[in-house]
Amino acid sequence: AQKVTQAQTEISVVEKEDVTLDCVYETRDTTYYLFWYKQPPSGELVFLIRRNSFDEQNEISGRYSWNFQKSTSSFNFTITASQVVDSAVYFCALSEGGSGNTGKLIFGQGTTLQVKP
């Protein structure tokens, strides 16, 4: 069965703190893609990053970093030195299929991040 679990429902931090959002996934496919999306109060989902199942190289992009571990089926997301503008709902998502182009994303329940000044 395909499933994405974001155990943290809400996280509240003070500006400049580091915060890690957890994501655990389940899939029987050997080829799949994992994503993180951000949904600010405006409602529009914003794409942050995509990783395929064969690429476990972790990445840092500015204040964002991602930790993908197939052994634990986890794809965690860290914001360093958080800012108030980072306040949003963050979704982890899974796409199965060899090419990943099936158009179906399976989302976790989302983690609401509140960054206080």
**Residue 64: CB minimum distance to other proteins, A:** 15
**Residue 18: CB minimum distance to other proteins, A:** 26
Which residue from 74, 84, 98, 53 is spatially nearest to 6, judged by alpha carbons?
Answer: 74
**Residue ranges in contact with other proteins by CB under 8 A:** 33, 35, 37, 42-47, 50, 52, 91, 95, 99-110
Task: Give the integer Cα–Cα distance in Å for 110 and 8.
Answer: 8
Contact in structure between 24 and 7 (CB atoms under 8 Å):
yes
Choose between 25 and 91: whose C-beta lies nearer to other proteins: 91
**Residue 10: CB minimum distance to other proteins, A:** 13
Choose between 35 and 75: whose C-beta lies nearer to other proteins: 35
Choose between 79 and 94: whose C-beta lies nearer to other proteins: 94
